[in-house]
């Protein structure tokens, strides 16, 4: 992981002497920790990394994850694993971080308690925010990262293809969500990348809806937003369906969302600003009868987290896309109290434009009730 460590320092205008990442307890774990040290399993609660400008990484961890860490470090000669017990982290950390050093921290992910604890363990050092360097280093994925996202996306796509066969009148949103997650695990996922969204009828008009015991009825629109997690990397896919009989307006809404997504996809290339991609999709919807019903940004970065930071696709994003970035493209139209449609795909930016990672059918599908 030497190149990843070096990339963090390269993206920092003012170079600290070291960059230090400190995990608290779940869910307060820093995904950048796993970007710099590629280990497929383990929580690494309370573990600390000290990254050096020459690409070397010191990892301080306890007995729970030490075996996994040492096994992963066998593939990385630039990482040193230190097994530490209670009370041993502070003295070792003080030896690894030079007196008077400037220490880069990830302020976005570090807890306040963790910050205070580091101040006690490292007196005389000054702290600065290294979050920009970490985010920029993570934004462009290397080949191994793209391959894992591709695998997660293949799992999600397979389940997306199977959803219509799972639908039956009277099933609950929670039942469908559970079946989707089960199938992702059967296909090799390590779990879900976020809480699965399944919305029937009016609930499909709520973009961040949490499923409940609402039952599927004929005439309902359906939105399923879900993702597989594969070796720490996420996918994020949304597919929308209609559970017969046909609703002409919702069919037209679906077709409009498809056109909006295609317009955005046709703009994707290195060097374009995120806001320009969003604008391409918004222009299609604003020219339709449903102007004002597209209520969120077009997409976000994807990687170790489902909302991975880095360059997104939204009206206020001036950052430019680069080859190797992975983003979602997810326009939607939401008719409050009635139903909604969202289509979401994961793509990687290429020299020529983009490549689909998710492959489930996107077109309007009316499932027989």
CATH assignment at residue 337? 3.90.230.10
What pLDDT does 245 receive? 87
Mean pLDDT value across residues 337-352: 97
Position 86 pLDDT exceeds 90:
no
CATH assignment at residue 103? 3.40.350.10
Confidence class for position 369, pLDDT limits 50, 70, 90: confident
What pLDDT does 300 receive? 97
Pick the last residue of a domain from 112, 139, 166. Answer: 139
Identify the weakest region by mean pLDDT among 83-92, 117-126, 326-335. 83-92
Domain check: are 44 and 167 in the same one? no
What pLDDT does 278 receive? 98
Pick the last residue of a domain from 117, 139, 161. Answer: 139
Q: How many domains does the chain have?
A: 2
- Domain containing 164: what range? 143-367
Are the CB atoms for 39 and 49 separated by under 8 Å?
A: no
Confidence class for position 19, pLDDT limits 50, 70, 90: very high
**HEC states along 300-366?**
CECCCCCCCCCCCECCCCCCECCCCEEEEECCEEEECCCEEEECEEEEEECCCCEEECCCCCCCCCE
CA nearest neighbour of 196 among 171, 224, 220, 154: 224
Pick the last residue of a domain from 123, 139, 155. Answer: 139
What whole-number distance in Å separates Cα of residue 54 and Cα of residue 319?
A: 28
Domain check: are 117 and 212 in the same one? no
pTM for this prediction: 0.95
Position 41 pLDDT exceeds 80:
yes
Q: What strands lie across the sheet with 233-234, from one edge to the other?
A: 191-192, 228-230, 233-234
Report pLDDT digits (tens) over 261-297.
Answer: 999 999 999 999 999 999 999 999 999 999 999 999 9
Are the CB atoms for 36 and 65 separated by under 8 Å?
A: no
Domain check: are 295 and 360 in the same one? yes
């Amino acid at each position: 992981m030497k190149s990843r460590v070096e990339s963090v320092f390269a993206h920092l205008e003012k170079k600290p002497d070291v960059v230090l990442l400190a995990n608290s307890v779940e869910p307060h774990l820093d995904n950048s920790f796993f970007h710099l040290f590629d280990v497929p399993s383990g929580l690494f609660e309370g573990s600390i990394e000290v990254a050096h400008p020459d690409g070397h990484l010191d990892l301080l961890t306890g007995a729970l994850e030490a075996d996994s860490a040492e096994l992963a470090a066998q593939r990385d000669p630039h990482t040193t694993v230190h097994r530490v017990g209670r009370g041993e982290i502070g003295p070792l950390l003080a030896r690894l971080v030079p007196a008077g050093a400037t220490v880069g921290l990830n302020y976005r992910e570090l807890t306040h308690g963790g910050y205070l604890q580091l101040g006690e363990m490292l007196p005389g050092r000054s702290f600065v925010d290294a979050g920009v360097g970490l985010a920029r280093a993570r934004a462009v994925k290397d080949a191994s990262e793209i391959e894992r996202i591709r695998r997660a996306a293949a799992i999600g796509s397979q389940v997306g293809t199977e959803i219509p066969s799972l639908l039956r009148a009277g099933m609950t949103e929670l039942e469908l969500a559970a079946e989707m997650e089960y199938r992702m695990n059967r296909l090799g996922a390590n779990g879900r990348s976020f809480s699965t969204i399944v919305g029937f009828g009016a609930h499909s008009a709520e973009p961040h809806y949490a499923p409940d015991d609402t039952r599927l009825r004929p005439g309902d629109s359906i939105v399923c937003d879900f993702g597989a997690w594969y070796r720490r990397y996420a996918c994020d896919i949304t597919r929308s369906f209609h559970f017969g009989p046909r609703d002409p307006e919702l069919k037209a809404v679906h077709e409009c969302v498809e056109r909006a997504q295609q317009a955005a996809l046709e703009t994707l290339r290195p060097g374009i600003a995120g806001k320009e991609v969003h604008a391409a999709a918004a222009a299609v919807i604003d020219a339709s009868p449903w102007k004002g019903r597209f209520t969120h940004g077009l997409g976000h970065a994807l990687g170790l987290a489902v909302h991975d930071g880095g360059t997104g696709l939204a009206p206020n994003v001036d950052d430019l896309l680069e080859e190797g970035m992975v983003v979602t493209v997810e326009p939607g139209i939401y008719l409050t109290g009635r139903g909604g449609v969202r289509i979401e795909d994961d793509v990687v930016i290429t020299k020529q434009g983009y490549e689909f990672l998710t492959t489930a059918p996107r077109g309007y599908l009316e499932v027989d009730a």
